[in-house]
Structure 1
Amino acid sequence: MTTVAWAVRREHRYHHILHMLRTEARRRAGEPIPAAQLKKLEGWLRNLSEQDVVVHYDPDTEQGWWLVHRRPGVDDDLIRVPDRVTRQGGSRE
């Protein structure tokens, strides 16, 4: 599954959550991640796991990015399975 399944509005493109999702996409693709960035990613992933939450994106809100409770049997990765994918194909993110 992709780590970024949405077309992200300009005002939400520099949020920490999006940065972490993109870093995870690079890690999954086998690209090198600087040690300090990898440490931040690992802590962020651990926090998601401990809280049993996933990432949700709502472009119609000021904040845009949310951590929401995982739906058992539905949200099996880092993101809330969206009702529809708005991102164009061809990207690993």
Structure 2
Amino acid sequence: MTRHSNPAGTSNVLLDLGFDDAEELSAKAELALKLNEVIDQRELSQMEVAAITGMSQPKVSQVRRYKLQNISLERLMQALVALDQRVEIVVTPATRKHVAGITVAA
């Protein structure tokens, strides 16, 4: 998680702050946001989420607090699927309007 100077503003605040892994962090944050919404809607405890998803309770706690450094994108997607969510990955060519990168829409 190294920072570099990026003088031009973008729609990604983490990129603007100069994080090397800004796209991955943004994708993780979007997935964690959706995961937390599902947990809240179902009024599940962290222990219940751990049992359903196969994550440890401390990992669930990290997700709940958006501490995502030690949690992979794949693990977040698997947790969403375990909670009966559909996760789609769509790959399209980059264009002038949509530059190369990672985007998550939850």
Provide the TM-score with structure 2 as the length reference.
Answer: 0.27
> Greater strand percent: which structure?
1
What TM-score, normalized to structure 1?
0.29
- The structure, 1 or 2, with the larger RCO (C-alpha pairs under 8 Å, 6+ apart) is 1
Which of structures 1 and 2 has the bigger CA Rg?
2
